[in-house]
Amino acid sequence: MNPTLQNWLSDQLQSLKDQSLYKPLVELQSPQGGTITVDGKRVVNLSSNNYLGLANHPRLKEAAIRAVQEWGAGAGAVRTIIGTMSLHLELDRRLAQFKHVESAIVFQSGFTANAGTIPAIITKEDAIISDELNHASIIDGCRLAGLPSEQRPIYKHRDMDSLEEVLKRFGSYRKRLIITDGVFSMDGDIAPLDTIVELAERYDAAVMVDDAHGSGVLGGGRGTAYHFGVHQRIDVQLGTLSKAVGVMGGYIAGSAALRDWLTQRSRPFLFSTAHPPAVTAAILAALDLMETDSSLTEKLWDNTRHWQSGLRAMGFDLGVTQTPITPVVVGDESKAQQLQRELFEEGVLALAVVFPTVARGKARVRTMPNASHSLAELDQALEAFGKVGRRLGLI
């Protein structure tokens, strides 16, 4: 191995540790649930995106097993060669139906959906207009589009005056694409999609929304666009299949022309093997549950209200959240890491989030109540937060 590279890697890792920015991987030793096993210890799990508790649901597991028996373990090819099974086409149709749009197409992840869609629909004659707090996958998708930075203006977070000012300045470009998260993953606030759509229509721009954290949570589970009633006025909707849906993957929902174009020009779709049958069948089972059992979303929101009201009553700063994403804002990176460690000792897994995921000085422990939590588990976690928060001088 090359010593120059290896020495550089060691130096960079040590620098992260010195700044309290190093994040070791957490080993999960049990299925996902309200309580899990980590390092041999049973702890209340407040770090999962498993919003509806579907990741370990019996119906999903049964569907996955049946699919393996009928279709095998893998798809065997990319979808554009011979990897498109009937299951995959059924899932595309079901997602379009679920989102109340014309068509949909599945990708290997939400990240690849952004990385594969933005460059495919943007040319050098266009401009991309992006919220300043958009997810890293949107940022990378915009970079992959190959536009110079001056054609990728950023507007202030959720600031519609700032967005309108950018739209006015960039009126000469052939296409303007406004891109925003539906729900912002670190703060839990919601993009004002109704106003964004109105501005887009006024200035002849297209809209793309990454609804990874809105799917299964808002709009009766159909997401942020449905929550605002603008789902048929948005050109591109991205959803994830690995959070509320409980499995893995991402998808793009919109017009039939959009789907057709992506099958021809989206590089992750063209050059990645299709989802295994078990994954596809489990997602279909999750959609069945999401469409027929509203109690899952209701339980998520009941638990969210219980959790957030308990933290606020103790004096914790939860920022501007409007969703189950519940950041306990600390500020200092080392103190956020210490809060994570001491909570684990008290039987709670709640992970610190530091730079570069959030800005320096904005460190927090990000907590995620979900539908699989019992009130007893949440109360146990609240007791631990109170105990550690007082000890660290956070409340």
Closest C-alpha among 245, 242, 244, 223 to residue 234: 223
Q: Which residues pair with 177 in a beta bridge?
A: 128, 206
- The secondary structure of residue 81, as a DSSP letter, is I
**Burial of 172 per CB tally in 10 Å (0-12, 13-18, 19+):** exposed
End-to-end CA distance of the chain: 50
Show Cβ contacts of residue 67 under 8 Å, excluding neighbours closer than 6 positions: 87, 277, 278, 280, 281, 282
Structural contact between residues 272 and 78, judged by C-beta atoms closer than 8 angstroms: yes
Active-site residue, 387 included: no
Kindly name the residue from 243, 275, 299, 362 that is annotated as catalytic: 243
Active-site residue, 15 included: no
Active-site residue, 213 included: yes
Structural contact between residues 205 and 129, judged by C-beta atoms closer than 8 angstroms: yes
Structural contact between residues 250 and 60, judged by C-beta atoms closer than 8 angstroms: no
Kindly name the residue from 103, 109, 185, 242 that is annotated as catalytic: 185
Strands, sheet with 363-367, edge to edge from the N-terminal-most edge strand: 326-331, 363-367, 352-353
Kindly name the residue from 57, 135, 213, 299 that is annotated as catalytic: 213
Alpha helices in 193-314 (DSSP H): 193-202, 224-228, 256-265, 267-270, 277-292, 295-314
Cα–Cα distance list, 17 to 7, 26, 166, 232, 355 (Å): 15, 16, 39, 47, 12
**Residues annotated as catalytic (active site), given as ranges:** 185, 213, 243
